[in-house]
Homo-oligomer: A and B are copies of this chain.
């Protein structure tokens, strides 16, 4: 099938903007797009986080059903703190394959949320679940508007804009910060929300990093510690993009989240982007 380039003009499918963020594990959406999600939610828009796996492998001394239960509870708590709905699909962590079952689950989730914007990882990342989530998401990108596919869930009328979240990988091509959102004003809320994933940020990831004994004990110190390790930095390319979207205010941005336009969904104009990301420029 050969679709004309101009086919799908991105447009909010109802009054509110409907955003779906897809991550491989129950903390990926949070880190990659959590600040942006808070901003959408504060403006009254609707955000769904989807974790494609249940996270049941991500720990050093827990696993399986016990861990999956903990991580789902953490995700639900994080969802409340972000102001979003958090959905955890029951696929095993560390074993995800980009098959038709997972593709269908993503198509269904995107359609049911009537998404205008869908955000997820690039297929170039260190974790196979991330790469396979990205492939499944790319595979869903056009299919969400094809009525004969997953026919029991009505197809969208307009193809959403699909965006990639930022990563540090350079091969085969580096991430491009097409859209950069200033999250300075909500960074503390993001850190607080992210910290709901206690099994990850205060147990598993420090253990992986040989830092388990250095994890602070008190809540407030943990937040500081987390904020410090996750503040990121604004790259030169992201700074340029910030100037495009925020003008003079760009210089005052301390924390940001960046997104790259995926070529397989609806391709937005700058105007589309400003309409779909109403926090830009503010």
Copies in the complex: 6
Q: Would you mind naming 21 contact pairs between A and B with Cβ atoms under 8 Å apart?
A: A1-B25, A1-B129, A1-B200, A2-B28, A2-B32, A3-B126, A3-B127, A8-B209, A63-B148, A65-B68, A65-B69, A90-B92, A93-B148, A95-B100, A97-B100, A103-B128, A126-B142, A128-B138, A152-B152, A168-B263, A170-B263
Minimum Cβ distance to chain B for residue A212 (Å): 13
For A139, list chain B residues within 8 Å (CB).
128, 131
Q: A149–B58 Cα gap in the complex (Å)?
A: 9
Q: A103–B2 Cα gap in the complex (Å)?
A: 22
| Chain A residues engaging chain B, CB cutoff 8 angstroms | 1-8, 24-25, 27-28, 31-32, 54-60, 63-69, 72, 88, 90, 92-95, 97, 99-100, 103, 124-129, 131, 138-139, 141-143, 145-149, 151-153, 168-173, 200, 204-205, 208-209, 229, 263-265
* Docked-complex contact B264 and A126, CB < 8 angstroms: yes
Cβ-defined partner of A28 (8 Å) among B1, B141, B143: B1
Name A30's closest neighbour in chain B (CB-CB).
B2
Q: A148–B265 Cα gap in the complex (Å)?
A: 32
For A94, list chain B residues within 8 Å (CB).
143, 146, 148-149
For A125, list chain B residues within 8 Å (CB).
264
Q: A153–B153 Cα gap in the complex (Å)?
A: 11
Interface centre among A69, A200, A265 (most CB of B within 10 A): A69
Query: Do A128 and B152 form a contact, CB below 8 Å, given A1-B28, A90-B56?
Result: no
